[in-house]
Structure 1
């Protein structure tokens, strides 16, 4: 999969789980549109094999919010989706998060969380770079989270 992005600037990914497997450098910016606060997460995400199929997503690093740094981590489960090549993303406890279909190189997803709505856009730039942009809106939050991923070893899969 050493191809560069094509159609509309996005690289189609025939199998999202195969594409994601491995370790990625992560940089996420967080903007609070209501309060004006900003933050940044830097670290790594490891997509490792999950017993029974799929990938275990383990993200760890440092989150700096308004100048204060603290360790941060999260775990998700990327399970095979109902359509070959897609994924069903779940929280660590098994609750549904969103679907993921990168066969066109771009995917839109949504997730209601209490009274807030998370709307995500996933784009694949090339074999070693992809991005997520989550817009979170509702009575409790007004945020934009932009995350860039770069394959750690620089070698496309």
Structure 2
């Protein structure tokens, strides 16, 4: 498998996400992520429906910026984490919680990101599957 480069991510992606909080029912997110060219690299925007058991589905979205080295930044410019270009593990510390993440690219252009979040405020597993939908144009 070849290493991923920033241009590989450009375009539209279908997103299917499962959120499994410890000791609570599983939630689901279904939506779309778009990586579009920007001055910094690729601007990422995802939007879709978040379904939490026992609640009305709600609109959910998030935004990040990815640079040419696959560093991910929050929309306000703060560093978030680096994506291993061949897939693999990385992490993010958000005091007092620790975010462990694994990127899997073996089935490209389908890929998976798994987050395991542990700390006094958070305890959950989140698995996100991406499948390519085509160009962002």
- The 5 A counterparts of 1:130-145 are 130-145=111-126
Q: Which residue of 1 aligns with 2:94?
A: 113
Q: State the aligned residue count.
A: 134
- The 5 A counterparts of 1:42-121 are 42-51=30-39, 53-68=40-55, 69-81=57-69, 87-102=70-85, 104=86, 106-121=87-102
The alignment's C-alpha RMSD in Å is: 1.4
Q: Which residue of 2 aligns with 1:129?
A: 110
What residue ranges of structure 2 are gaps of 5+ in the alignment?
none
TM-score (norm 2): 0.92
8 Å CA contact 1:62, 1:71 repeated in 2:
yes
8 Å CA contact 2:31, 2:47 repeated in 1:
yes
CA distance in 2, matches of 1:80, 1:108: 19
CA distance in 2, matches of 1:129, 1:18: 15
CA distance in 1, matches of 2:67, 2:54: 36
Matched, 1:13 2:3: yes
TM-score (norm 1): 0.80
- Shift in Å, 1:19: 1.0
